[in-house]
Amino acid sequence: MQGNLLRCLKPMSLSSLLPQTLFSSVQMPVDAIPRRKTAPEPRSIPLCPPMRLTERDRRILEAIHAYDGMLSAGQIKRLFFTGDSQMQLRLRLLYRHGYLARPDRRQRASLDEPVFWLAPKGAEFVAGLSGTPAADFTFRREPRWMQVAHDVAVNEVRITLSEACKREPGFELEAWIPQSEFWAHPDRVDYTLPNGTQARRFIRPDGYAIVRKGAYVCRLLLELDRATEHNPRFAAEKILPGIAYVRSEIYKRRFGYNSGKWLIVTTGERRLQNMKRSAELVAEANARLFYFTTLDRVTPGSLLTQPVWQRGGADVPVALF
């Protein structure tokens, strides 16, 4: 009997239990159908504000290339600005528009101050100023990270020399050959060590300047020393090959004369005296080719005409001119 009862029951749908009108098709006006709200299309926001290259921007790009491909923020300010805000604005725009490159956060952590160098777009712009095809234009694509502090200090001396020549009547900085030129095209000299052994060394000064005062022309070879401890090989690596270079035929072919003064700029007085003593011991009379001073004494008002230099073989400070 239970089986007959189950056979009599029919499956029932939900629609059969509810009023039929709930499931009847209803014609609704199109305007009455609610529409899903969509977010408005985002407006394109520029990554950086527009800019127009100014004459000063052009000179900044040229200067960075001329100063061996890199300048610190402080040096850019020293050359082109009187305040920080305008300098920061222009450097930020030049960076965001692809003309300049700067260190990332990790690289910046090891530096005393920000540095800038040419990005490819900036290099292309500088190349175009001289009509050089971009493919043939050579520029520093990245700083030498292990030597950033050294290279910044070399530029500091160069800027100071330029300012000194403008400050002192009658002086003119005729030329500056950067260290990159000597790394690309080094000269090699042979010389004799104190024990009689023959040695050979490439000469790569940190810079070479030609300064004129009237009819007198002075040729200066810069060696910037940032070490704090005495280097017992200083005489063998710098003094003896430096003398041989100035006296050599290859130097005369390159610069036209066998005259020059080596400027050794170092970190402190104790280091200076050790270097001067080493030069005098091995070079004797030729030690007079070397002039020693410290970084803190190199100023536009003192570099050329004040007795801030210790000359090899001399007991009292002297001036370069």
Is the pLDDT score of 45 beyond 50? no
Q: Please return the burial class of 290, using the count of CB atoms within 10 Å of its CB with bins 0-12, 13-18 and 19+.
A: buried
Do the beta carbons of residue 300 and residue 321 sit within 8 Å?
A: no
pLDDT at 233: 85
The reported pTM is 0.82
Other CB atoms closer than 10 Å to residue 158's CB: what's the count? Answer: 21
When pLDDT is averaged across residues 257-286 and rounded to a whole number, the result is 95
User: Using alpha carbons only, what angle is made at residue 118 by residues 116 and 121, rounded to the nearest 5 degrees?
Assistant: 140
When pLDDT is averaged across residues 25-42 and rounded to a whole number, the result is 50
pLDDT digits (tens, 9 = 90+) for 53-108: 999 999 999 999 999 999 999 999 999 999 999 999 999 999 999 999 999 999 98
Q: Which of 20-34, 56-70, 217-231 comes out lowest in average pLDDT?
A: 20-34
pLDDT tier at 47 (50, 70, 90 boundaries)?
low
Q: Which domains does the chain have, with CATH numbers?
A: 53-143 (1.10.10.10), 146-321 (no CATH)
pLDDT at 49: 75
